[in-house]
Amino acid sequence: MKQLLDLETPALLLDRDVMRANLTRMADRIHALGCDLRPHVKTHKSLDVLRDVKALSRLIGITVSTLHEADYFFAGGEKDILYAVGLTPGKVSHAATLIRAGCDLTVISDSPDAIEAIQAAARAEDVRLPVLIELDVDGHRSGVEPDGPELIEMARRIAASANLDLKGVMTHAGGSYDCRSVDQIRDHAARERGLTVGAAERLRDAGHDCPVVSIGSTPTAMFAEDLSGVTEVRPGVYTFFDLFQAGLGVARLSDIAVSVLGTVIGHKKEKGWVIIDAGWMAMSRDRGTANQPQDQGYGVVCDLDGRPIEDVYLGIANQEHGIVIARPGEPDLDVGRFPIGSRLRILPNHACATSAQHNRYEVLEDSRVVAEWPRTHFW
Amino acid sequence: MKQLLDLETPALLLDRDVMRANLTRMADRIHALGCDLRPHVKTHKSLDVLRDVKALSRLIGITVSTLHEADYFFAGGEKDILYAVGLTPGKVSHAATLIRAGCDLTVISDSPDAIEAIQAAARAEDVRLPVLIELDVDGHRSGVEPDGPELIEMARRIAASANLDLKGVMTHAGGSYDCRSVDQIRDHAARERGLTVGAAERLRDAGHDCPVVSIGSTPTAMFAEDLSGVTEVRPGVYTFFDLFQAGLGVARLSDIAVSVLGTVIGHKKEKGWVIIDAGWMAMSRDRGTANQPQDQGYGVVCDLDGRPIEDVYLGIANQEHGIVIARPGEPDLDVGRFPIGSRLRILPNHACATSAQHNRYEVLEDSRVVAEWPRTHFW
C-alpha cells in the first residue's frame, strides 16, 4: 500500500472518509425532507466517486454540465441524466446519439427562440427530446422569470413541438453563493423552492403536465427547511466541499475532502518565501475567496495529516510554482519550518476547478493511499 | 474539410498562420543576435506544435515545466530537455528513468541544501545528473543571487558531488511581466543578460566550467538588444501570445494564435447579457489582465473570423457558462446582435492556462479546420 511520501507531486488527494461523511450528511438532510437527489457530477467527474455517492444516498439520476460527462457516465452505466446547460441546436445531434443508445437524457432551455431551432434539429435527427424549462429565481445567470409571461410561452411552444416533451421546471440558485450568513442562505433556499414550485403550479394551471420540479445548489440544499413540491435536488460541490463553501458557512475546513499534495522545492529566506511544486496548474487559477471576509489566497496550507497551519497560506502561484508566505499581519515566515523536500497539503478555493486540473484522485483512508480513481475531462 | 460551424463547442482554435508568424519573428530576432532557442513547451504541450517550431527556428533543445512533459516529448523524439523547475529528491528516480532511456535531461537547483539530498538520491539511482544553477535576476521567484556567496557555494557542492555535473547557469526574468513600458522591458532584458553572464564569469573565475548560459522570458526575448555571452533563450508564450502579452505591449491582438470558440446559448435581455457555452472551464480562471490598464475580463470577444468586437467582453464566467456584457462605460448590450446558436471566438488572458483546459487544438488555415492536434496534460 502506498504512503503519501511515495507519491510524485503535485497530486490530488481525496480523503474518502471525509467525502463519505459529506455524502451522508446531505443525503440524510434531503431524504428527511422527503426528497431524492440528482447530484451534479461536474465536481468530481468520476464513476468511482459516484459509486460512493450511490451507496450512501437515494438518487433519481445524475446532473451533468457537458455532453461529454453524459457520454462518460452513460458508458459507466448511468441512464437517467440531466444536461443542465442550455441546449443549442448544434448539440442536438450529440444528444440524439445518447438517446438512441438508450440514455434517458433530459435537456434544458430558457429561450422561446431556442425552442424553435432545437425542434427543427430534433426533427432532422428524428429524436424526441425531454425538456425542462430553466427558471431564474435570483438573477444569478440564466432562466425565465417564474412569474413572467415567457414561462407559459415556452411551455406552449414545447407542447406544440412534435419532437419535444415538456417534463417540468428546474433552477440553480447560484445567487446563494453571494449570501453573507446562514440565515440569508435559509431565506434563499425558501425563495428557490417557493418560486420553482410556483412556476410548476402556473404550468399545471395552464394545462401542462409538470412532473419534474428540480432545484439545487449546495448552500441552499444544506439549509433548506422545506422541500414540499420539489421532486429532486441537485447539489454538487458538497461531495468535496472547499474553502469558498467554508467561507460561506456551509462547511468546516475539516469537511474539505480534496487537497493538493506538494513538495517544498526552494526557499527565499530573506523574503520568507517557501516555494512548492504546486502552482496554479495544480490548484487552478480560482481565487473565489478573494472577496470573502477571509481571503485564502490560492489555498490553505496543511501538514501531511491535513491539519491547517494557520499563520501561512499559498499566497502566490505561477504555473508550476506555488509560494507559501505569511498571512497578512503575521511575521515573515521562517522558511526553516518547511525544509526542502518536505510535503504540504493545500486545501483549494474551489473543488470543481482544482479537481479539473488533475486526471486522477489519490484516494486516502487513514492517511494511506488505497486507490487511484481516474476522472474525465474536456468536452 | 471541417468548417468552424461543424465543431461542437467549446473548442480551442489554433490559427496556424498567426502562430507561424510568431515563431518566425522570435526566431529571426534571437538568431540575428547570434543565439539559438530552447523554447518552453509548457505553453502548447504538443508535438505537432513543436514540429512547426522546429521548422521555423534553430533549437538547441526544449524546456519543460514537468517531468511528465519530458516523458511526452522524449517519447516523441526530443532528446535534449531542460526541466526548468527546482528538482527535489523525490523526483530523482523519475529523472533517472528518463536519463537511462537515453534522454539528455538537465535539471536545475537554487539550493545548497537541495544539492546534498539530490546527490544522495542520484547515488542511490546510480545516475549522473547535469545541473544548472538557477539565478534570481529580478526578485520574481526562485534562484540564488548572481553576485552573492551562495552561487559559488552551490557550484562547489555540485562539483564535489559524485553524481552531479555542473553545466552552467539559468534564469527566468519573470519580473518582466510587471513592466509598464517597452523601454522598461528593454532594460529588464539587459539586466537579465548582464547578471546571468556575470554569474557565469564568476563561476569561471572560481575554476568551474560554465558551458550553458540560459535566459528567457517572452517579453525580454522580444526586446533584448544584446545576447552576447548567452548560449540559449527560453521563451514560451510567444508561440501563441495572449491578452496579457498584448497588454504588456509585447504583441498585438492580431498576433494571438489561440481562441476559444463558443456558442450563444441564452439571453438575459433586460440585463444585456449574452450567455455562451464557454465558461471558466474553457477559458481558465486566469484574470491576468485584471491589474493591467485594460482589464479584459475573461477574454476579448471576436466574430467568427477573429475580428475583435470592441464594445463587449466576456465579463463573467461560471463553470460552463460565459456571459458577454458591455465593457464598462458602454451602453447595455443589445442581445439581438448575437442570436441564440450564433458563434463567437474569445481571445484568452493567458494562452498557457487556457490551452491547458483543452485536450486538443482545432487547427485553422484560412478559417478552415485542417487538423486536430492533441496536447498532453497533468503530471
Condensed to tens digits (0 to 9), the pLDDT of residues B173-201 reads: 999 999 999 999 999 999 999 999 999 99
Determine the distance from the C-alpha atom of residue A118 to the mean position of all C-alpha atoms in its chain, rounded to a whole number.
27
**Can you say whether the dihedral through the CA atoms of B161, B163, B168, B169 is positive or negative?**
negative
**CB contact at 8 A, A62 and A82:** yes
Q: Note whether residue B234 is domain-resident.
A: yes
Per the prediction, chain B carries an average pLDDT of 97
Whether B341 and A136 lie within 8 Å, measured CB to CB: no
| N-to-C CA span, chain A | 34
Closest-CA residue in chain A for B111? Answer: A266
pLDDT tens readout for residues A172-184? 999 999 999 999 9
* pLDDT of amino acid B154: 97
Determine the distance from the C-alpha atom of residue A313 to the mean position of all C-alpha atoms in its chain, rounded to a whole number.
24
pLDDT average, residue stretch B42-66? 98
Percent of chain B residues past pLDDT 70, beyond the cut: 100
Residue written as grid cell 498571512: A327
User: Of the candidates A67, A265, A357, which has its C-beta nearest B88's C-beta?
Assistant: A265
Closest-CA residue in chain B for A117? Answer: B341
Q: Note whether residue B96 is domain-resident.
A: yes
* pLDDT of amino acid A2: 79
Tell me, yes or no, whether A158 and A234 share the same domain.
Answer: yes
Interacting residues of A69 by C-beta distance below 8 A, sequence separation 6+:
A41, A42, A45, A376
Residues lower than pLDDT 50 in chain A: none
User: Of the candidates B85, B113, B353, which has its C-beta nearest A340's C-beta?
Assistant: B113
Q: Note whether residue B198 is domain-resident.
A: yes
CB pairs below 8 Å between A and B: how many? 154
A228 touches B: beta carbon within 8 Å: no
A358 touches B: beta carbon within 8 Å: yes
What is the tally of structural domains in chain A? 2
Which SS3 state, helix, strand or coil, does residue A344 take? strand
* pLDDT of amino acid B354: 98
Tell me, yes or no, whether B211 and B177 share the same domain.
Answer: yes
A68 touches B: beta carbon within 8 Å: no
Distance between CA atoms of A125 and A99, rounded to whole angstroms? 11
Tell me, what CATH number does B100's domain have?
3.20.20.10
Q: Nearest-CA neighbor of B63 among B77, B80, B76?
A: B80
pLDDT average, residue stretch B292-316? 97
Distance between CA atoms of B298 and B313, rounded to whole angstroms? 7
A254 touches B: beta carbon within 8 Å: no
Closest-CA residue in chain A for B264? Answer: A88
Chain A, 46 to 65: residues with Cβ < 8 Å from chain B are: 65
Q: Which of A214, A240, A266 is the last residue of a domain?
A: A240
Whether B111 and A281 lie within 8 Å, measured CB to CB: no
Tell me, yes or no, whether A308 and A370 share the same domain.
Answer: yes
Chain A, 305 to 334: residues with Cβ < 8 Å from chain B are: 318-321, 323
Chain B, 272 to 291: residues with Cβ < 8 Å from chain A are: 275, 277, 280-282, 284-287
User: Of the candidates A113, A280, A359, which has its C-beta nearest B340's C-beta?
Assistant: A113
Chain A, 191 to 220: residues with Cβ < 8 Å from chain B are: none
**CB contact at 8 A, B261 and B4:** yes
Q: Note whether residue A103 is domain-resident.
A: yes
B239 touches A: beta carbon within 8 Å: no
Strands B258-268, B273-276: parallel, antiparallel or unpaired by DSSP? antiparallel
Stated length of chain B: 379
**CB contact at 8 A, A362 and A8:** no
pLDDT average, residue stretch B157-172? 97
Whether A266 and B340 lie within 8 Å, measured CB to CB: no
Q: Note whether residue B174 is domain-resident.
A: yes
Tell me, yes or no, whether B340 and B219 share the same domain.
Answer: no
Longest dimension (CA), chain A: 73
Q: Mean pLDDT check: name the lowest of A13-17, B2-6, B123-127, B157-161.
A: B2-6
Interacting residues of B148 by C-beta distance below 8 A, sequence separation 6+:
none
**b/e burial code for range A336-375 (CB count within 10 A of at least 16 → b):** eebebbebbbbbbbbbbbbbbbbebbbbbeeeebeeebeb
* pLDDT of amino acid B1: 66
Strands (E), chain A: 2-3, 11-15, 36-37, 62-64, 80-83, 104-109, 129-135, 164-171, 212-215, 232-233, 258-268, 273-276, 300-302, 308-317, 322-326, 343-347, 360-365, 368-374
ipTM of this complex prediction, to 2 decimal places: 0.97
Tell me, yes or no, whether A233 and A257 share the same domain.
Answer: no
A180 touches B: beta carbon within 8 Å: no
pLDDT average, residue stretch B254-279? 97
Q: Note whether residue A8 is domain-resident.
A: no
**CB contact at 8 A, B367 and B305:** yes
- Does residue B72 have a pLDDT over 90? yes
* pLDDT of amino acid B58: 96
**Can you say whether the dihedral through the CA atoms of B325, B329, B331, B337 is positive or negative?**
negative
Whether A111 and B267 lie within 8 Å, measured CB to CB: yes
Q: Note whether residue B248 is domain-resident.
A: no
Tell me, yes or no, whether B187 and B334 share the same domain.
Answer: no
**CB contact at 8 A, A57 and A85:** no
Tell me, yes or no, whether A283 and A235 share the same domain.
Answer: no
**CB contact at 8 A, B82 and B63:** yes
Whether B266 and A111 lie within 8 Å, measured CB to CB: yes
Distance between CA atoms of A50 and A78, rounded to whole angstroms? 10
* pLDDT of amino acid A258: 98
Q: Which of B216, B240, B264 is the last residue of a domain?
A: B240
Distance between CA atoms of B90 and A70, rounded to whole angstroms? 38
From chain A, pick out residues whose CB is under 8 angstroms from the CB of B91. 8
Q: Which of A199, A214, A240 is the last residue of a domain?
A: A240
* pLDDT of amino acid A320: 98
Tell me, yes or no, whether A167 and A263 share the same domain.
Answer: no
Which SS3 state, helix, strand or coil, does residue B171 take? strand
From chain B, pick out residues whose CB is under 8 angstroms from the CB of A280. 286, 353
User: What Rg value do the Cα atoms of chain B yield, rounded?
Assistant: 22
Tell me, yes or no, whether A27 and A56 share the same domain.
Answer: yes
Which SS3 state, helix, strand or coil, does residue A319 take? coil
From chain B, pick out residues whose CB is under 8 angstroms from the CB of A264. 88
Q: How far is B299 from chain A (nearest CA, A)?
A: 15
- Does residue B324 have a pLDDT over 70? yes
Tell me, yes or no, whether B30 and B147 share the same domain.
Answer: yes
Tell me, what CATH number does A281's domain have?
2.40.37.20
Tell me, yes or no, whether B135 and B213 share the same domain.
Answer: yes
User: Of the candidates A136, A286, A319, which has its C-beta nearest B42's C-beta?
Assistant: A319
pLDDT average, residue stretch B236-241? 98
- Does residue B98 have a pLDDT over 70? yes
Strands B312-317, B322-326: parallel, antiparallel or unpaired by DSSP? antiparallel
Whether B90 and A142 lie within 8 Å, measured CB to CB: no
Tell me, yes or no, whether A161 and A309 share the same domain.
Answer: no
Query: Which residue range is the domain that position A221 belongs to?
Result: 17-240
Residue written as grid cell 437515494: A58
B266 touches A: beta carbon within 8 Å: yes
Q: Note whether residue B11 is domain-resident.
A: no
Residue A373 identity (one-letter amino acid): W
* pLDDT of amino acid B367: 85
